[in-house]
Structure 1
Amino acid sequence: MNENSRNKNNEEIDIGDLFRLVKKGFEKLGNLLLRFIGFLLRNAIVLIILIIIGAVAGYFLQKKASNVVKTEMIVASDFGSAEYLFKSVKELQYKLKIKDKATIEKLGLEGTKASISLAVKPIIDLDELTREEENYLELLNESDFLEKEEKEGLMKKISRFYEIILYHPHDLDSRKLLKNVIEILRDNDYYRKVYALNSKKIDFLIKADESLISQMDSLMVNYSNSLKNTPLNSSTIYNTNSALDLGVMIGNRRSVVEELDGLYKKKVANEELFRLVDLGYPSEIEEKSITSYKIILIPFLLVLAYFGLIIFVRVVQKAKKLDR
């Protein structure tokens, strides 16, 4: 009985201590809340002024930002020109930032004070990828040891089409500007020679395949005519070797036609460096980040900076007292 009563008393003491700790916690939390409310009341005028200033500044900045739209252009790339494309767009973006006079003149932006920026990203078409490229892309997405920038750099190598994005004011002739941009990007002697030689090679292969298909068609027509003029004799009509030759020829012709179709596509895509696939029209910027809501963000940052300043002053004052 004595042991049971002792255990009961201990449990009652533990529960009582727990309630007292919870009560003290709520009291401290209430005191902190009251002190915070008191702080807001003491600094209400300053905080209200900061919020008004931030809201007005954010309104005008957000209104200015809303005038910015984007125009997209899709280009084809080959012969390892993807790295050159990204490098050239990055350099062009820097020259626009520093207002390089020669670049401004080439782009036809004389007298334009508005902010303009460029970006480029690869377009991955899964239907156009080979099996090897699909496995490479899947392995790349699943890997955890590569940084995001490293992954993007490797993805450039398997893409054949790229999207150049121009961010600009809505009243700017963006299509004309993008045409000037592509002319600047094509100004490369090395790739100009590469594409010229490749064009000659493709033309030669196209003529060769077209001639081969024409010869095959003539042979098959002559063979068909010879069968018509041959008497109905099973030994000649169903000659094993002749039938086999005809089947092989039809299969070879199909292969040549497929190869020719691929050459026609290459001729169109590789006619010049960064062959223009599509030149779009201005459209609204849909990707909005937290910085897009400046009318809320700027007042919040000003109030936060004011709190930080007060904390810093308090810390400095306490540090001076400790030195004494």
Structure 2
Amino acid sequence: MEEKSPTNNTSSDEIDLGQLFELIKKGFHKVFIGILRVFLYFKKNLLILVLLGVVGVGLGYGLKQISTITKKTEVIVKPNFESKDYLYGIVNELQSKIKGKDNEFYSSIGIDLEAIKGFKIEIEPVQESNNKVVNLEESLKYLEYLGNLKDDNSIKQVVKNEVLASSYVNHKISFLYKDAKMGQDAAEKIISYINKNKYFQELKEIYLDNAESQIRENEALVKQIDLLVTNYTKALGSKNGTSGDGMVLLGGEEGLDIPQLLNLKNKLIETTGTNKLEIKEQQETIKILNFGGPQQIKQAFFTKGLVLIPSILIFLFFVWSFIKYLNKKTKELL
């Protein structure tokens, strides 16, 4: 057989490299032509694009000026006397009366519903710390496990409601409105109305009376303990002694357990402090933790309108130009 010549292989390699360089050259040429066409397109339509940008900025600024800014007041509250269900119920009722334009009801609490444009009430639980959220998730997972053991949706829902109720202590009531002065005044009147529920007012009086009675009794017992300890201390003499367990022995009389009395005194003082704190916190059915002032709500569209509207107009022009180009190519093919 005749062997292939090495020169033929070398020549073939040179031809392949030449074709490769030619393809690269053509590729760069097409890229350059593409960039040139884009440049020419923007140069040809520069005036239109600038005009669309100016018109868009003008429209965005105009909409921002004529748009009415919504404001809100946020009130952080803590329901006392297990009044959480009442709180959510009354807020939903008040919002329903707004939708139903119940002017008579709102006039009875000193609010001119017609004058407050865009007035709205919302309520939601305040999220607690991450640890409490994790505990809530674990409780709900355990609840799902219990649900798998017994197919009783009613019991499962009751337990779930109890878990959720114990997980959220504070709640946020939001009032939305247009006029800052009238909106803030309406928010104060509505919170006052919520706290005037007759049932919870009577319940509050009972709670406060019980707490004050317990404080008086505890303080009286503390005084008696102090008097006992003082008298027994004075009665100590050389013929008396103290047992190893801290009990004071007085000449044949029954011993006095000093450590136990002091422990009881500390518990009484602690209970008294807790009762005083409860009296402070339970002056209202719905304890107001923070009553915020009017604040502006950010409206994304109008705040970004100066950039968004010109961008939309320019984008629509590009779409129109592309459709026009496709239409031209279609006519050439036909």
Match of 1:57 in 2: 62
1:108 counterpart residue number: 111
After superposition, the CA RMSD in angstroms is: 4.7
Aligned to 1:182: 191
Which residue, out of 241, 245, 257, partners 1:240?
Answer: 245
Contact 1:58 1:294 in 2 (8 A): no
Give, in angstroms, the shift of residue 195 of structure 1: 6.3
Does the 8 Å contact 2:116/2:177 carry over to 1? Answer: no
Q: Distance in 1 between matches of 2:318 and 2:105?
A: 43
Question: Aligned partners of 1:250 and 1:186: how far apart in 2?
Answer: 41
**1:296: how far off?**
0.7
Give the match for residue 167 of structure 2.
158
Say whether residues 1:303 and 2:302 are aligned partners: no
Q: State the distance in 2 between where 1:316 and 1:157 align.
A: 64
Q: Which amino acid aligns with 1:303?
A: L
Moved more, 76-85 or 210-219: 76-85
The amino acid that maps onto 2:221 is: Q
CA distance in 2, matches of 1:157, 1:92: 25
Q: Distance in 1 between matches of 2:215 and 2:56?
A: 74
Displacement after TM superposition at 1:303 (Å) = 1.6
Contact 1:118–1:167 under 8 Å retained in 2: yes
Please give the per-residue CA displacement for 1:286-322, whole angstroms capped at 9, x wherever unaligned: x64533415515633762685498489869989x99x
> Deviation string for 1:192-224 (max 9, x for gaps)?
535644652453255235414422431332232
Shift of 1:86: 4.7
How far the C-alpha of 1:280 sits from its partner, in A, is 4.0
SS at match of 1:160: coil
Aligned to 1:75: 77
Aligned equivalent of 1:220: 226
**Number of aligned residue pairs:** 294
Specify whether residues 21 and 102 from structure 1 end up closer, same or farther in structure 2 by C-alpha distance, changes over 3 A only: farther
Separation (CA, whole Å) in 2 of partners of 1:83 and 1:4 = 92
In the alignment, what sits opposite 1:193? 199
* Deviation by residue 1:248-283 (Cα, 9 ceiling, x = unmatched): 22223223322332233233333432123343444x
Distance in 1 of aligned mates of 2:136 and 2:105: 37
CA distance in 1, matches of 2:244, 2:89: 64
Contact 1:213 1:253 in 2 (8 A): no
From 33, 37, 41, the counterpart of 1:27: 33
Percent identical residues = 16
Q: For 2:77, what is the secondary structure of its paired residue?
A: strand
Structure 2 residue identity aligned to 1:77: P
Q: Residues 58 and 296 of structure 1 are in contact (CA less than 8 Å); yes or no, is this contact kept in structure 2?
A: no
Q: Contact 1:74–1:161 at 8 Å: present in 2 too?
A: yes
TM-score, normalised with respect to structure 1: 0.65
> 1:229–1:101: structure 2 CA closer, same or farther, 3 Å change rule?
same
Q: 1:225 to 1:59 in 2, by over 3 A?
A: same
> Which amino acid is the alignment partner of residue 293 of structure 1?
T
Structure 1 spans left out of the alignment, 5+ residues: 141-153
**1:290 alignment counterpart:** 300
Is this contact kept in 1: 2:125–2:170, CA < 8 A?
yes
Q: 1:7 offset after TM fit, Å?
A: 5.9
The structure with more radius of gyration = 2
State the SS of the aligned residue for 1:172. helix
Whether 2:271 is the aligned partner of 1:262: answer no
Change (3 A) 1:288 1:186: same
Q: Is the 8 A contact 1:122 1:155 kept in 2?
A: no
